[in-house]
Amino acid sequence: MAAAEFAWPVPADHPAFAGHFPGRPIVPGVVLLDRAIAFAGQLRGAADGAWQIGNAKFFSPAGPGEVLTFALDQRPGGAIAFTVRAGERAVAAGSLTPAAQ
């Protein structure tokens, strides 16, 4: 089973920061899920695949300029478990399942 890590430096000018949240910008959960899905596509070599979110938990906010590490682990049946960390701090975790075609 394949496993990989991907680093994503959070751009300080990411458009999501405009409204999330004024005065204390944090990366929205949907952006973390979008990056996890993009990295899952890279891991499987199918960047245009459709995914279902099996579960997702958000532990700690991430902000502009942080480097997030996405660790992905492919499971039997094609599911992918992921964790997101900022250094030693857990940011999020979850699982993705390929959508039925």
Contact in structure between 90 and 59 (CB atoms under 8 Å): yes
pTM of the complete model = 0.92
Rounded to an integer, what distance in angstroms lies between the CA atom of residue 94 and that of residue 64? 22
DSSP-derived secondary structure for 13-71: T-GGGGTS-TTS----HHHHHHHHHHHHHHHHT-TT--EEEEEEEE-S---TTPEEEEE
What ranges do the domains of the chain cover? 3-14+26-98
Residue 80 pLDDT exceeds 70 = yes
Per-residue pLDDT band at 32 (split at 50, 70, 90): very high
List, for residues 1-28, the tens digit of each pLDDT value: 569 999 999 999 999 998 888 889 999 9
> Three-state SS for 78?
helix
- Residues marked as catalytic: 20
The topology (CATH level 3) of 3-14+26-98 is Thiol Ester Dehydrase; Chain A (3.10.129)
Rounded to an integer, what distance in angstroms lies between the CA atom of residue 99 and that of residue 80? 12
